[in-house]
Amino acid sequence: MSNQWNSGINDRKIKEQICEIGRRVYNKGFAAA
């Protein structure tokens, strides 16, 4: 039970990190264009 809860929190953090990285890459590409 606790393992599922922890993995859920990790998934959320990972998704937030991916979104943040994607946003930075998009901003860099937009600025370069």
Residue 15 is predicted with a pLDDT of 93
DSSP helix, strand, coil percent of the chain (3-state; round to 5): 95, 0, 5
pLDDT of residue 10: 81
Identify the pLDDT of residue 32: 73
pLDDT at position 1 is 55
The pLDDT value recorded for residue 5 is 66
CA–CA distance, 33 with 28 (Å, rounded to integer): 9
* Ordered per-residue pLDDT tens for the chain, 33 residues: 566 666 777 888 999 999 999 999 999 988 776
**pLDDT given for residue 33 in this prediction:** 65
